[in-house]
Amino acid sequence: MLSRHKLLLIATSLILYATLVTAQQPVKDHPLVSRFPGSTVLEYKTAEFDEFLLPLGKIIDASKFTKSEKIDGKVTKFKYSIPENASTLVIAKSYQDALQNSGFQVLFQCSGDECADKSAPGNSRDTDSGRWCYVSYLCDQPMRYLAAKLSRASGDAYVALVVNKGFGTWLTIVEVKPMEGGLVKVNAAALASDIAKTGHASVYGIYFDSGKAVLKPESDATLAEISKLLASNVQLKLHVVGHTDNVGTLASNIALSKQRADAVVAALATQYHVAQTRLQAAGVGPLAPVTTNKTEDGRAKNRRVELVEE
């Protein structure tokens, strides 16, 4: 019979072997967009629900573009190697043809110097969509960028492609969908308790399309609970404060957070007959985070509405 020590060694070896086999499993391409032939996966990550800044114009700085759009949904990111004999042109053109043949509409594309605003510093920047190298004579080959959209009944899909010969090919696919409901439960009693203890309450059950201030129908249950809170205490007056993560410019985030707070106040007044004199809208953008903006979960927690007692 084998000793306990030998059995433990065998069990440990089997666990290590299983871990190595799992780690070596190849990453599959996204079902909507495959890799360029000869490329290998260098990096891969996915999030069931996150926000992504889609560049739709020239770069100004790391996360600033002359035009961009925040979109959210399932975000899948690949970084592929570039075959030695492949140019950035042939890779970008291959992706463009494949996307258009699949029904995608090209929203914006550029190459080399065309990709940068005159005020852009240096010659390259790391962005959420990949590394932009936008001064042609300082890059191995002209960088190529493409943004595309596929309209579909199950939810639109967006693609951002950066091809940079010196570093690789970045491919991001965002499948737009509402965040799963029921992740955070909100009720009038809990809101009242938080306000009594701390003077404010964080609300996560209010939903908007990325970059927009139009309330989604999934917000109705939470708005109803806020109206119950106000009905249960007729003396209560609230500041309704919008908060965002730090993706995008400070000015645009502050403006967006105020517009979203205005939308909440308007809905409570029109749909739930709350007197507007009891509600004051404000927006502080990313200036009061509850946690770090360096992770997906952190950014999701920072995107919220706060009810603050006057």
48-62, 76-90, 200-214 — which is least confidently predicted? 200-214
**Interval 25-47 mean pLDDT:** 92
Report how far apart, in Å, the C-alpha atoms of 137 and of each of 83, 133, 134, 167 are: 21, 10, 9, 16
| Domain annotation covers residue 168 | yes
The helix/strand/coil state of 220 is helix
135 and 72 housed in the same domain:
yes
- For 161-219, the pLDDT digits (tens) are 999 998 999 999 999 875 555 555 678 999 999 999 999 999 988 988 778 899 988 88
256-281 b/e (C-beta count within 10 Å ≥ 16 → b): bbbbbbbbbbebbeeeeebeeebbeb
Q: Can you give the length of the chain in residues?
A: 310
Handedness of CA 39, 42, 47, 48 (dihedral sign): positive
Same-domain status, 98 and 155: yes
Q: Are residues 148 and 120 in the same domain?
A: yes
Domain boundary among 147, 176, 205: 176
* Cβ 305 vs Cβ 253: under 8 Å: no
Contact 293, 304 (CB under 8 A): no
pLDDT at 49: 87
The residue with greater pLDDT, 177 or 88, is 88
Task: Please check whether residue 171 is in contact with residue 82, taking contact to mean a CB–CB distance below 8 angstroms.
Answer: no
pTM as predicted: 0.59
- Answer yes or no: is 1 within a domain: no
Output the domain CATH number for residue 137.
3.40.1000
The answer to whether residue 6 sits within a structural domain is: no
Look at residues 49, 47, 72, 67 and name the one whose alpha carbon lies nearest to residue 57: 67
Please indicate, yes or no, if residue 17 is contained in any of the structural domains.
no
Q: What is the pLDDT of residues 107-124, one digit of tens each?
A: 999 999 999 998 888 889
> Which residues are bridge partners to 170 per DSSP?
79, 162
What total of structural domains would you count in the chain?
2
Instruction: Give the integer Cα–Cα distance in Å for 6 and 123.
Output: 59
The confidence score (pLDDT) of residue 2 equals 47
User: Does 88 reside within a domain?
Assistant: yes
Kindly state whether residue 13 falls inside one of the protein's structural domains.
no
Asked whether residue 169 falls in the same domain as residue 260, the answer is no
Query: Can you tell me which residue has the tokens 């799963």?
Result: 180
Residue span of the structural domain in which 161 resides? 41-176
Q: Is residue 107 part of a domain?
A: yes
- Evaluate whether 89 touches 148 at the Cβ level (below 8 Å): no
Q: How far apart are CA 209 and CA 230, in angstroms?
A: 26
CB 66 within 8 A of CB 141: no
* Whether 211 and 93 share a structural domain: no
170 and 256 assigned to the same domain: no
- Domain boundary, last residue among 142, 176, 210: 176
The answer to the question of residue 129 being in a domain is yes
pLDDT bin (cut points 50, 70, 90) of residue 6 is very low
Residues 127 and 152 in one domain: yes
Where among 121, 147, 176 does a domain terminate? 176
282 & 251 share domain? yes
Same domain, 155 and 232: no
Residue 155 burial (10 A CB sphere; 0-12, 13-18, 19+): middle
